[in-house]
Amino acid sequence: MQNTIVIFSHNRPTYLELLLENLNDIFKNENYSKFFSSIDIFYSNHLSLPHKKKKKISYLEVNYIISPNTSSSQKINQSFMKYYNDKKVEDCFLLYLDDDCILNKKRFIEFFRDFKDLSRNNTIYSIYNSFSHKIFKFNKRNFLYEKKTAGMLGILVPKKIVIDYINLTNISKVNPNKCADSIFLEFYVKHYGNLILTNPISIIQHIGFIGENNNLSKKDIEFSSSFINEFIANENYIELLINLFTKRNNKINLNLFAKMISSLKYKFIKQRVFGRDFNIFK
């Protein structure tokens, strides 16, 4: 199975270099089960890349795909079309990362080493437990949270779901420059009737404070409250306490007009992607 790590790089070569070093540290472990075979980096221009382009990370081939003048959403759609048209990898998983994240080596290795026992058909997983996305319930069988929403960071997607998304919607024609992750995941939840299974202790931490989806001045920062670097006994109990005591800034956001416009844009784009004939999505 040719599983691929997909990285979106947005003019942050220092972050990308740190992430690639992080991945090299993970995959140089000779005892690690070879779940992934390659890394695809979608980049806007040469400013997005480190000075030296690595052709390999341990045993993984590294491919660089130019994606000029594109938003995050457009990179997502470009990647979908690439894997949709790549007939060599019909049965595989795609792990989505951004350049401004770090991974917990121990937990990453453990998760993918045991993934065969965890894997279910037509299911999206997330190794990033973002506090921005509400927990719907706790899956006692798999010891995973279930969520209705998530961003692209850290999601593990079966390629079959991407194929169905392109075949059953107008996404290949619309190619929106916003909301691509939300629209894709809404399609997944409503079409398959499944939720996003999320690791309670986040394997990823988001370290970028400036970008399309982060606004430092408005204290709108995306991160995980359950990322633990060091080994601590009874971490699961500690993580639950962190989630209980860590809350978002509850101050009133006076920019309600901007929120209304954003919501209307999302509904408009979603209608274009899903089309009028898809009654399930109304």
- pLDDT value at position 98? 92
- pLDDT value at position 41? 95
- Reading the chain (282 residues) residue by residue, the pLDDT tens digits are 689 999 999 888 888 998 999 999 999 876 566 889 999 999 988 777 887 888 999 999 999 999 988 888 899 999 999 999 986 656 789 999 999 888 998 899 989 988 887 777 899 999 998 877 777 788 777 789 899 888 899 999 999 999 999 999 999 888 778 888 999 999 999 999 999 999 988 898 887 655 555 554 444 455 555 555 544 444 444 444 444 444 444 443 434 444 544 555 546 665 666 676 665 554
How crowded is residue 6: how many other Cβ atoms within 10 Å of its Cβ? 23
Task: For residue 271, give both structure tokens.
Answer: 């209608």
How crowded is residue 179: how many other Cβ atoms within 10 Å of its Cβ? 19
Which residue has 């382009």 as its token pair?
A: 53
- pLDDT value at position 279? 56
Residue type, 216: L
**Pairing of β 155-158 and β 93-98:** antiparallel
SS in 3 state form for 65-108? Answer: EECCCCCHHHHHHHHHHHHHHCHHHCCCEEEEEECCEEECHHHH
272's enclosing H/E stretch is: helix 256-274
User: Are 221 and 246 spatial neighbours (Cβ–Cβ below 8 Å)?
Assistant: no
Task: For residue 13, give both structure tokens.
Answer: 């070569």
